[in-house]
């Protein structure tokens, strides 16, 4: 028989690790819902055109798309990110603005798998459409910061930059092009290819021969219009006011083409530099229009869940903790008593599991131990006959076992577990 494994860059997340993922999603949801964001759920598959709006000079679009023709011969793709999908949804449904939404879920990019870089990876994020105010940039950045704090992460750097207004950006791109063209063969071949498509992207190169030419390249701040400079100054003042430490990184451009004005990235200091972006985002005024909607200001971020959890592992915070069971029912009288008692415990809000297949007392007690339950509730022949059950604390220092009427088991455990 053939055997199968997950495809490269894809992973199974098994319990108890999966419970940690859900806790992370819950913490994120709590953080952003407390700030007025509602969850948006968009399909995993969209028309390829939705994603080509991300920018045809980005690797995400040119090399990494999981695209195919469906049975109706539509050219579609698995989503490589959610911002374009959210803007497509906005253009389609025209909700009232400000539209503040959050999301969580998998994305797909055909990248070279390595630690912290997967082909299926999970993101949590927010997008806000219809608000052109630097205070919102501050709110959005602060939410991500608060989320990292809630997980217990400390070794996170926030870097920010502004790409200016579209005209500033264009003037800067032209200046960069002239600068890098003058360098000629001094750039690596890959960067020369990138230069032809989008000079900004050359700044992303981590290849050694490119480093000195990137260092001597012009910086965007010199091209900021008064309006863009004022917006960026207000963002920085807001972050200062909230006590959120940040560094202005004048060469930060981010890997997607839709950004204008404020951009930011969170770097995990414990991760390898090639994969140290825990999350990032920025303004993308213009993307909704590119997707057929009205001119709409937009800003948001996405945080990589896989990398965030790697950073948590490195820092020894937000550890995996399976849900503790309150009871494990051991019934060696055929199982009918366990059916009722387990259901009763569960409907009273207690977490309960049980043994099956009428296994021996020894085998079921082994399962009870392994389950991590705080108590075993045991029904043998005597207890069945008397209408009682033995409640046995599973940790040695939690007292002795007791035989009590079966009808008292729920109340007894509720008292013990304070549920
Ligand atoms: P991004 O920088 O492409 O931005 O991705 C955001 C985060 O997703 C990254 O910082 C990283 O943590 C994680 N990530 C990306 N690719 C991978 C991968 N192959 N494996 C593991 N993790 C990965 C966006 O996606 C934008 N949509 C963010 C945004 C929202 N901008 C405005 N709104």
CA distance readout (Å), 64 to 19, 123, 322? 30, 17, 35
Atom of ligand 1 nearest to the CA of 127: 33
The CATH number of 17-165+225-315, from 2.60.40.10, 3.30.70.20, 2.40.50.140, 3.30.930.10, is: 3.30.930.10
User: From the CA of 109, how far away is ligand 1's center (Å)?
Assistant: 10
Instruction: Say what the pLDDT of residue 332 is.
Output: 97
DSSP letter at 353? E
- For ligand 1, what atom is nearest to the CA of residue 60? 3
Tell me if 259 is assigned to a ligand binding site: yes
- The bridge status of strand 298-304 relative to strand 277-283 is antiparallel
- What is the residue with the minimal CA distance to atom 12 of ligand 1? 304
The CATH label, of 1.10.10.10, 2.60.40.1080, 3.90.550.10, 3.40.50.800, for the domain at 327-417 is 3.40.50.800
Instruction: Report pTM.
Output: 0.94
CA 296 to ligand 1 center in whole angstroms: 22
Give me the tens of pLDDT residue by residue for the chain, a chain 419 residues long: 889 999 999 999 999 999 999 999 999 999 999 999 999 999 999 999 999 988 877 888 888 999 999 999 999 999 999 999 999 999 999 999 999 999 999 999 999 999 999 999 999 999 999 999 999 999 999 999 999 999 999 999 999 999 999 899 999 999 999 999 999 889 999 999 989 988 988 998 888 999 999 999 999 999 999 999 999 999 999 999 999 999 999 999 888 889 999 999 999 999 988 889 999 999 998 999 999 999 999 999 999 999 999 999 999 999 988 778 999 999 999 999 999 999 999 999 999 999 999 999 999 999 999 999 999 999 999 999 999 999 999 987 778 999 999 999 999 999 988 76
d(CA 39, CA 86): 11
Cα distances (angstroms) measured from residue 125 to each of 77, 186, 229, 300? 20, 39, 26, 7
pLDDT of residue 205: 87
Q: Where in the chain is the domain with CATH 3.40.50.800?
A: 327-417
Asked if residue 306 has its Cβ within 6 Å of ligand 1, the reply is: yes
Q: Is the CB of 103 under 6 A from ligand 1?
A: no
> What is the pLDDT at residue 324?
86
Q: What is the pLDDT, as a whole number, of residue 133? A: 97
Nearest CA, atom 11, ligand 1: 304
Considering the chain, tell me which residue range(s) the CATH 3.30.930.10 domain(s) occupy: 17-165+225-315
């Amino acid at each position: 028989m053939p055997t199968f494994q997950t495809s490269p860059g894809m992973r199974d997340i098994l319990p108890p690790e999966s419970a940690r993922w859900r806790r992370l999603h819950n913490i994120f949801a709590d953080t952003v819902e407390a700030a007025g964001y509602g969850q948006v759920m968009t399909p995993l598959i969209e028309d390829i055109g939705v994603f080509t709006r991300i920018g045809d000079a980005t690797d995400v679009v040119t090399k990494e798309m999981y695209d195919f023709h469906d049975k109706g011969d539509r050219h579609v793709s698995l989503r490589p990110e959610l911002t374009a999908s959210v803007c497509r949804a906005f253009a389609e449904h025209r909700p009232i603005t400000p539209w503040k939404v959050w999301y969580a879920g998998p994305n797909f990019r055909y990248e070279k798998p390595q630690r912290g870089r997967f082909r299926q990876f999970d993101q949590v994020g927010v997008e806000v459409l219809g608000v052109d105010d630097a205070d919102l940039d501050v709110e959005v950045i602060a939410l991500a910061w608060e989320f990292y704090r809630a997980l217990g992460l400390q070794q996170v750097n926030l870097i920010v930059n502004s790409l200016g207004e579209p005209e500033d950006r264009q003037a800067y791109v032209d200046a960069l092009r002239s600068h890098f063209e003058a360098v000629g063969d001094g750039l690596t071949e890959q960067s020369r290819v990138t230069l032809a498509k989008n000079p900004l992207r050359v700044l992303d190169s981590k290849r050694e021969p490119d480093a000195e030419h990137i260092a001597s390249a012009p910086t965007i701040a010199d091209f900021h219009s008064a309006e863009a400079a004022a917006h960026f100054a207000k963002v920085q003042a807001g972050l200062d006011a909230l006590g959120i430490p940040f560094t202005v990184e004048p060469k930060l451009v981010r890997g997607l083409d839709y950004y204008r004005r404020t951009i930011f990235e969170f770097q995990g200091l414990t991760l390898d530099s090639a994969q140290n972006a825990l999350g990032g985002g920025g303004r993308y005024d213009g993307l909704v229009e590119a997707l057929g909607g009205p001119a709409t200001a937009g800003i948001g971020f996405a945080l990589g869940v896989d990398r965030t959890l790697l950073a948590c592992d490195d820092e020894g915070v937000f550890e995996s903790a399976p849900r503790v069971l309150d009871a494990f029912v051991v019934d060696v009288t055929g199982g009918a008593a366990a059916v009722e008692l387990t259901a009763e415990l569960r409907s009273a809000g207690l977490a309960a599991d049980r043994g099956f297949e009428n296994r021996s007392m020894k085998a079921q007690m082994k399962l009870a131990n392994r389950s991590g339950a705080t108590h075993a509730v045991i029904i043998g022949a005597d207890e069945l006959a008397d209408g009682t059950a033995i409640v046995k604390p599973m940790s040695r220092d939690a007292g002795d076992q007791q035989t009590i009427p079966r009808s008292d088991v729920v109340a007894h455990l509720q008292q013990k577990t304070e549920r």
